[in-house]
Every structure is written in C-alpha cells, then in structure tokens.
Amino acid sequence: MVKRRAGYMRGMAEFEAERGIPATAEQVFAVVSDLNRLPEWLPSPVDVRPTGDGEVHADVPERGVDAEGTVRVRSDQLRVEWAHAPEYAGWLQVEHAEGARSTVLLHLSFLGDQPETHGGTPAADLQQSLDDALASLERVVTTTT
C-alpha cells in the first residue's frame, strides 16, 4: 500500500508518502534509525551521512545541495526528524500495524523558494523519490530480517 500527498503554498511545499511493510515496527526502525545505513535505502543521487552527534551532511549534486543539517532519533516514538534550517525539514514515522507489519510515513517540508515549491516536474520527481525511498526501505528490511 502506497499513499501519496502533496500540498503547495507560496514559498512552501509539503510532501508525504506512506507504505505498509511486512516487518515489525522495531525491525523497520532499527534500519531507519541507523544513520550509517541511509545509503542503503535513500534514492540516488541523494547522499546523506552522519558527521557527528545529531549532525549530517547532505549532498544532492543534481540540485546543487551540499549542506550540513541536524538529525534527531526519537527511539521512544519510533521517529527520525531532520532539518536544514531555514529551507527544509522532514521526518519519518514508523507505526505498528496488524500482525508483524508496520506502516512508514515519510514527510518533507520545503520552506523556501526551491523548485519543488512551485509544483510541476520538480515536485513530481520529489514525490517519486519518496516512493522510491520507501520501496528501497522495504527491500532492505525484508532482506536483512
């Protein structure tokens, strides 16, 4: 199951994707909360790697992004939050579902005047990247558990 949502306001855009995964919420969270495993499931050409306690470096060459950001892992909530202030923020929430299943909700907020805030192809490409990331996450989780 994949659910998609996008909303646009002048200078702001919100994107979400949701996917059911045939693994427990704890199994999924073990993968997403291990920041060293980000390259296993984030779509190319996004390269995000931890650089220190609560910090990451993001490199997205096709968008000209080469930036530092913050990340917070909330194990008690099965949630990971990140940001590159003041232009960008996001979160990933893992929820328990029936049986040994879980649901993952991935949310991104663009808060500046990036191309994604104007809709069209950049927004559609970003939405596809969210879907691709969740599909990759499912593959990683189901092949390593």
Single-letter residue type at 125: D
Single-letter residue type at 126: L
Residue 26 lies in a domain: yes
Residue 61 lies in a domain: yes
Residue 86 lies in a domain: yes
| Segment 6-19, tens digit of pLDDT | 554 556 788 899 99
Residue 7 lies in a domain: yes
**Closest CA relative to residue 5, chosen from 135, 117, 140, 108:** 108
User: Who contacts 20 (Cβ-Cβ below 8 Å, separation ≥6)?
Assistant: 1, 97, 101, 102, 103
| Segment 59-109, tens digit of pLDDT | 777 766 778 889 999 999 999 999 987 778 899 999 999 999 999 999 988
Average of per-residue pLDDT across 27-42: 93
**Closest CA relative to residue 55, chosen from 71, 79, 43, 36:** 71
As for how many domains the chain has, the answer is 1
Report the sign of the C-alpha dihedral through residues 68, 81, 100, 127, in that order. Answer: negative
| Segment 118-130, tens digit of pLDDT | 667 877 888 888 9
Residue ranges making up the domain that contains 80: 1-47+55-90+104-110
